[in-house]
A and B are shown apart, each in its own frame.
Chain A
Amino acid sequence: MTDLPDRCDSCSKEAVYHDTRIDDEGGITEIHACESCAAAQGLGPTQQPINELLSSFVVKPAEAASEQVTTKVKTSGRAESCGTCGTSFREFKRSGLLGCPQCYSSFEPQLSSLLGRAHEGATHHVGKVPKRALSQVTPGDPAGRLEALLGSAEERAERRRTLRRQIDAAVTSEQYERAAQLRDELRAFDDVSGPGESSERTGDDGDES
């Protein structure tokens, strides 16, 4: 909605590092730097800025994104813009900010790889689920209800796989307390979404429940 001053303050190349600083008087300075100037000035925080992640983002051959019926889709199967809020992927690449919750579905194929880079390879949420969602699910619920609140069987299986991987890693590195915690989490998740389902429905999961 506004034009970004996305040029580097020093060399006017495209800026990938943006920061706002507050000085002694409470005055604000906006800082914009390109990758090399940011590095030269020691500006980069230890966290890789989202813009940098985006600029190094490699577009892989089209994967399936056929379910995005409401979004503008290029021939490659990737949405150019979100059908709900109209934010384009280009705008997102520039600002690092998505436009609305629906953007996550609209740009899912593009986001997966980016999220992996930003989150140590993770692609699925593990952790708190809104109480509202959990309290509406009981073990005997029809699958449709479960899916709406906790994701498809495949997504739930992926979440279990992530947890199991983390348990294995914790055991391997002798972090038993952490492994126990992760097991508790898996159990809590199984309690609401139904245990055993993952090993039955996903053949690639070699773990025993």
Chain B
Amino acid sequence: MSKEGLPELHRARTEWLRGEGDASDVVLSSRVRLARNLAGVPFVNAANKGDRLLVLESCRDRILEAGLASETLWADLRDANKLDLSLLVERSLISHALAYGSKRRGTQSSEDPRGVAVSLPDERASIMVNEEDHIRLQVMRSGFALESAREAADQLDDALEAKLDFAFSPRFGYLTACPTNVGTGARFSVMLHLPGLNLTGEIDKVKRAADAMSLAVRGFFGEGSKALGDFYQVSNQTTLGKSETVLMHEISREVVPQVVAFERDARGLLLAERRRYLEDRVHRALGVLRHARLLGRDEAMELLSFVRLGVVLELFGDDSPALDAVHHLMLLVHAAHLQRAVGRVMEQDERSAARAALVRARLAVDG
């Protein structure tokens, strides 16, 4: 039951890379995450294997009863192979801590009871079981659509709550293993593509704006990760003492519109005053991607970021790759996707060559 759906997942587009929705020239995706725990059960880090197994089974059954969408994929990660785990991580459906365990949480065994439910075929919702909290529910939307993501997350939460008793205290709200998540247990985040601000050297403006609002700016893969290809996630750090609506609006009404305006200004400035330079950067990026024979993941992501900018600003003329192809490549250049696309397990050197070949084929002028 667990893995039938996984092998073909790499062929599909995933919600957060659909490239649609509001402000999608700058906002890649919006995400809402809720942390929940079962009342009367130790948190994952303090639970023994028996407790974790019970949590896994009861959450799995209730989640499948509630249903995430018309079709729900349940993946039991205890017997998942490494490539499947990486595939789910690369699609942002699970965290790497859930995939590979965490020493801090005492969950580093590959046999540790844990799983994930994913809504198919859109992958808009996923629910991790036995991550840092018993339940980590997330809803994704392409483009700038926090409100719609929040509404969907809220409904899912209600559906689960009708079947599961969540740990809640009137004073502290929803109780989480780490006190930095307590209260609403909600994390609202928006993934922004900010190459313009990076080129004009103004990316610090964003960091300052975010800092002033107690918001976090993180890289492509979230906490602790570096910005890959000018993609940044902005999210709330505070979860206690402000309601979900207020937390969401701080990001959706105050910070994101401001950052989107900064980025568009920067792009406008580059077009008006440094057009040659900008054209050179994006054409070089496309040139390298179309001709390279060896390509690492980070380099590929950086170049794809420039190509995305060129596509959005219509700088490539008739020669332009489709935005959809660029977005799909942003998944396919990652190791697990690449190996699935090619159809075999490869060492790193071989992957660099395979990655370059795949990118060349997908971005070919007549293709």
A-to-B contact residues, CB < 8 Å: 1-2, 4-5, 18-22, 24-26, 28, 30-31, 43, 45-47, 50, 85, 87, 95-101, 104-105, 111, 114-115, 118-133, 149-152, 155-156, 158-159, 162, 166, 177-178, 181-182, 185
Question: Are the C-beta atoms of A120 and B170 separated by less than 8 Å?
Answer: no
CB distance from A89 to the nearest CB of B (A): 12
CB < 8 Å: which of B42, B173, B245, B247 contacts A99? B42
The listed residue (A31, A98, A104, A118) touching B169 by CB distance below 8 A is A104
A98 CB contact (under 8 Å) in B43, B183, B217, B335: B43
Assess whether A20 is in contact with B169, with CB atoms less than 8 Å apart. Answer: no
> Could you list 27 A-B pairs, sorted by A, with CB under 8 Å?
A21-B96, A24-B348, A28-B100, A45-B218, A46-B216, A46-B218, A47-B237, A85-B42, A97-B45, A100-B43, A104-B182, A119-B180, A120-B214, A120-B238, A122-B238, A125-B171, A126-B241, A127-B183, A127-B186, A127-B243, A131-B162, A132-B162, A151-B169, A151-B171, A152-B170, A156-B170, A159-B170
Taking CB atoms, residues of chain A closer than 8 Å to B170 are 125, 129, 149-152, 155-156, 159
Determine if B116 is an interface residue (Cβ-Cβ < 8 Å): no
Decide yes or no whether B21 CB sits under 8 A from chain A: no
Q: How far is A128 from B240 in the complex, measured between Cα atoms in Å?
A: 11
Which residues of chain B are near A85, meaning CB under 8 Å? Answer: 42, 46
- B residues near A, CB below 8 A? 37, 39-43, 45-46, 82-83, 85-86, 89, 96-97, 100, 102-106, 108, 132, 154, 157-158, 161-162, 165-175, 177-180, 182-184, 186, 207, 210-211, 214, 216-218, 221, 223-225, 237-247, 249, 253, 296-298, 335-336, 348, 351
Complex Cα distance, B246 from A162, in Å, reads 13
Contacts of B336 in A (CB 8 A): 26
A47: chain B residues at CB < 8 Å are 180, 216, 223, 237
